C-alpha cells in the first residue's frame, strides 16, 4: 500500500512538472512571437523608404531622388526604368568590390578626389551644374568636396575592380574593349541577381 502511495505521488509530481514545462514553453513561444512582431514593425519603419532590393541590399527613395536631381541639373532625361537600372548597377558594383576585398586608402581617395575636381573645374558646363547643385542644397564648394569623397572612393574602387576583371584578358587592352567587357560582366551579374522592386512606377 505504501509503495502504491509513493507511485501515485511520483506520478502526480511528474504530471505537475510536465504541466509547468508546457506552460513555460507556451509562455516562451508567445514572448518570441511578440519579439518577432516587434522586430518586423521596426524593420518596416526602418525600410519604409526602400524602393528596391538587390541581392538583399536596400536601395532607398533618397538614393533615387538624389540620382534624379543630378540628372535634372545635367539636363539629362531618363525613364524610371533607366534610373533604377543605374542604381542596380551601382549596387552590383559595390557588392563586387566588397566580395573581392577591394579597399582604398585615405590618401588615395584624397588624391583622386582632388584630381576629379581639377578636371571638373576645367569644364564650364559642369561647373555651372555644380554651382546649381550647391545653390539647391545650400552648400559651399568645400563642403561638396568633402561630401564627394564617398563618390570618389566608389569611383576609385570601381577602377580597381575593372583592373581585376581585365587582368587575364589579352583582348581588353583598349579602353573601348575594357568598357564593353565590364558592362557585359555587370549585365551577367544582373541576370543572376535577386532584384525586388517594391515601388514600380511602370
For the chain, give the mean pLDDT: 77
pTM of the model: 0.68
b/e per residue, 151-189, with b = 16+ CB within 10 A? ebbbbbbbeebbeebbeeeeebeeeeebeebbeebbeeb
Distance from C-alpha of 72 to C-alpha of 59, rounded to nearest angstrom: 20
For residue 87, the model assigns a pLDDT of 94
Give 123 or 164, the one with higher predicted confidence. 164
Q: Region 191-198: what's the mean pLDDT?
A: 91
Structural domains present in the chain: 50-197 (1.10.4030.10)
* Cα-only R_g, the chain: 28
Within 10 A of 96 (CB to CB), how many other CB atoms are there? 18
The mean per-residue pLDDT over the stretch 31-54 comes to 58
pLDDT at 88 over 90: yes
Note whether 158 and 123 are within 8 A (CB): no
pLDDT value at 202 more than 90:
no
pLDDT of residue 144: 83
Amino acid at each position: 500500500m505504501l509503495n502504491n502511495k509513493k507511485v501515485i505521488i511520483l506520478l502526480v509530481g511528474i504530471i505537475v512538472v510536465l504541466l509547468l514545462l508546457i506552460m513555460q514553453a507556451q509562455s516562451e513561444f508567445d514572448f518570441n512571437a511578440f519579439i518577432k512582431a516587434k522586430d518586423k514593425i521596426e524593420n518596416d519603419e526602418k525600410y519604409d523608404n526602400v524602393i528596391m532590393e538587390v541581392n538583399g541590399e536596400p536601395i532607398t527613395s533618397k538614393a533615387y531622388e538624389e540620382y534624379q536631381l543630378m540628372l535634372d541639373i545635367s539636363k539629362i532625361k531618363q525613364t524610371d526604368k533607366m534610373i533604377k537600372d543605374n542604381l542596380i548597377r551601382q549596387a552590383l558594383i559595390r557588392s563586387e568590390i566588397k566580395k573581392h576585398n577591394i579597399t582604398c586608402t585615405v590618401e588615395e581617395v584624397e588624391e583622386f578626389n582632388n584630381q576629379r575636381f581639377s578636371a571638373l573645374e576645367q569644364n564650364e558646363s559642369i561647373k555651372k551644374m555644380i554651382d546649381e547643385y550647391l545653390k539647391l542644397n545650400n552648400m559651399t564648394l568645400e563642403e561638396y568636396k568633402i561630401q564627394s569623397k564617398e563618390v570618389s572612393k566608389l569611383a576609385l574602387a570601381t577602377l580597381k575592380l575593372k583592373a581585376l576583371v581585365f587582368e587575364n584578358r589579352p583582348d581588353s587592352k583598349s579602353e573601348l574593349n575594357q568598357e564593353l567587357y565590364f558592362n557585359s560582366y555587370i549585365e551577367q551579374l544582373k541576370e543572376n541577381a535577386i532584384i525586388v522592386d517594391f515601388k514600380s512606377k511602370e
